[in-house]
Structure 1
Amino acid sequence: MAVWCPDWPVVAALAEEGLPTHLPAAVFSANVVQACNGGARTAGVRRGMRRRDAQSRCPGLQVHQASPDRDARAFEPVLAAVEELRPGVAPLRPGLLALRAPARFHGGEESGAALLAERLVGHGVWDCRFGVADELFTAEQAARRAAPQECHVVEPGESRTFLRALPVETLDDLDAVSLMKRLGLRSLGDLADLSATDVRDRFGPHVAWVHRVVGGDGAVLLATRTPPPEHTRHVDFEPPLDNAETISFSVRRTADAFVGGLAGQGLVCTEVLVEARCEGEVEPASSRLWLHPRWFTAADLVDRLHWQLQGALGRSGEVRAPVDRVTFVPVTVVPDAVHADGLWGGTDERVERGIARVQGLLGHEAVVRPVLQGGRSPRDRQALVPWGERPTGLRPRADQGGPPWPGSIPAPAPARVLSSPWAAEVVGGGGRSVDVDERGAVTCPPERFRPGPGDGWQPVGAWAGPWPVEELWWERPSRRVARFQVVGVDGRAWLMTWDSGVWWTEAAYD
């Protein structure tokens, strides 16, 4: 049995932001639609469509960046819910899982699917579909043709007949599908009539495997997983405690057990949820999600709890309500080898703890660190990421296999990027303003410049450029920009920009 939850990347993105599922939304990777929900498809959005085309068809489209970690994290409760009824679940990818068809115990595949659907709906997964067949690939295709919360059963021995009638668009390979349609292949049955050698040579290994499956070979064995051990730890206080120092001291053994349990599995925790239950209820102010740039130790957990109790429940050492339970819930765990120390060490532990303390007082978004991304101007290349969080959705850099970013300035990069560009002036001989024509050439060599409104004029000692680029060329009028490196006779160097006839100072080479 295959259990399919359609459009799962979109479902996970909307759930993370607390948005209703009926809103038209799409998940993008490299500005291309990776997944979209029913509301977006109704407006004409399709997979593989570029972002500007998708937003032109659906102006109210909710845009989300692809995040495989987010998808897997949101799918874990679905796996756990299915495992409560049927152990031996095989997660194929976020949104799709497989298991042995629960027919004998529940009185039929439809009855077993109805019970699973009831459990998943209880966990908030309304659109879940089930397919049953002799083979895993056939079961997945059967689930894709089932109605929401329904089960499509392919009778034993009928898998080949079922697959041969499917269109070639069933394959998740846009290039292969396009080639097959140009060759006149319309169904998987047409593909199965070809020789195995021709299919492998022309379409590649994935289509060759589907060719074997349609022919009755190439079945994949079901690789089930063992339910993960429970890593959550909690400690109860009887009677409840109302002092932050006492509570923090009393959870040290629990924190050691939490870290030790993860270490026994070769794991470390980089994101943890700390809950302090007051009088039997967990208040929003007493529950906080903490991140760590490396991993949490037992001392880190005790510190986070102490700061949380002081910052949210009381600052004088006495909490507002007695605490009867403290719980540590691992949200993100990774293999310990991922965060092993480098050859020259890492960030000082005291710095990390100080930054985490500031985050506890001011909020997670209050402390950020700069990272580099792709772009043309120094400002575009900067991105600020909350401390302890892994950067996502960055534009690819040219030195990491990304686009070349034509028009960007060469190395070295400026040492200081201005928070707001300064209005500048650059003139040539006779006081004529220096401009850049449509071919990217200057109208006259620059002789004097003023980098900012409060600065005086000074002669140009040296200059380089321009590096022209036409931005937003698909709009009219487009934006023509050219960047210059200008050095004054005082030795100071500046990065100056000519923007459609107006000069600005963007950065300084201190």
Structure 2
Amino acid sequence: MTRVDRVLALLCPDWPAMAAAAMAGVGADRPVAVLRGNRVVSCSAIARGDGVREGLTRREAQSRCPDLVVAQDDPDRDARLFESVAGAVDATVPGVEVLRPGLLVLAARGATRFFGSEEAAAVRLIDTVAVAGAEAQVGIADAMSTAVLAARHAAIVRPGEGARYLAPLPVAELAAEPALAPPQRAELVDLLHRLGLRRIGDFARLTPADVASRFGADAALAHRLARALPERPPSARQLPPDLTVELDCDPPIDRVDAAAFAGRALATRLHTALTGAGVACTRLAVTARTEAGEELSRVWRCARPLTPPDTADRIRWQLDGWLTHRARPTAPIVTLRLEPVEVVAAGALQLGLWGGEGEETERARRALVRVQGLLGGEAVRLGVLSGGRGPAERITMIALGDELAPATDPAQPWPGRLPEPAPTLLLLHRPTVELTAADGTAVQVTARGLFTADPARLRWGRKQWALLGWAGPWPVDERWWAATDQPGSAARAQVQLDAAATEIRVVLLVYDADSWHAEGVYE
């Protein structure tokens, strides 16, 4: 039997709010909220008890809780203050890896062996964090992501029971932890809700092939999380040589601003080396050596490969924490070292078409500019995500060299927008098709946005197929105030073709001027 290395995750709930309270000298009995862009992004448990929630505006939050202490979002502050917690845990159980300020993980085997059991290790670490002036919850499971979700509920998952533990949790948990989920994960959760998959177990029962083909790369990662599998499959990839980068600090560093400047330069050198080796870093060790011979080291782990800005941020946060910590080094820093602990293939990091900002990128740009000179400025265009309800409206094509500004704001809600996923192929000429019911009558859309009959067959040119299913219609109600000579109601619908359609399985239809048109296909 293969031994499973259990993972212990330690979470300080509402850490941005706790860090803001500590910085302001506010007691634990005061409600605190942290704002970003005039909206609440974190709040204390006391504020939550008064009705404050993430996403509320400042005015709404203060109306619910007049005594609310408000602070602005500051990742540097959060990381600086979390170093005392990470240091205390590392002194108790070595091998701490920080996922983000407020969340760290470590191997559970060493802690269990030292303290006697997983329960005893969890209690001891919670007490250690309490001495450091913070509150913590512990989760233990076979996979890191499962342990992190278990820490949100202060649970210890029995070996081999990860999938069973996750199954009854709401599917929204897949997007609840920013260290595990990118921002766009919320769109996937919304789509799963609309499909009727309300629990993590419902999503886990889908096959990996169906998830990857229908929902995309991030959904495949979320599916592994839902099945309590490791974030990435085991890899035999060895660390390429000469990836470690060092910087001799002359003069020695004893100020945070100087440390941040040095960190940016070192991050650039590291990612140049990673790009040359064709890999991306997911675990990074940041090490500093002082004039007095002290050596400080901390490992940062990321669920996704680090980008150069991500690396620079973590270096700045770590050095800020060391230089401002109560147990700060006794001498200035003379050497900084970055050492990749774990790498993945560079394809896991979705860079631009030619990778980073190296010589290859500049050569490609010069080639494209030459094409523009030969064929005209509009010959080379880039697609920019825009706002809109239909698939064509959500892409703005902009000539190379012009400002990449979308025609409409994609951040707006756009009620009535076509549900995800988008078609794989967009048909700009929109060929006319016929949608009929089982008795052969034409299917239309009423003024109330409903089908006149259930669709049963689709005729496209000389071909026709029976339908296995359909979704919609979704009314297109735009510019209702403008006069139009086109009668009828506009709407979109999706239809799934039978097995006879080998190349096209699902078609996006648009109903306009009493006729149906094919707007896109899902291959």
Higher relative contact order (CA 8 A, sep 6+): 2
Tell me which interval the TM-score lies in, with the shorter structure as reference length.
Answer: 0.3 to 0.5
TM-score, structure 1 as length reference = 0.43
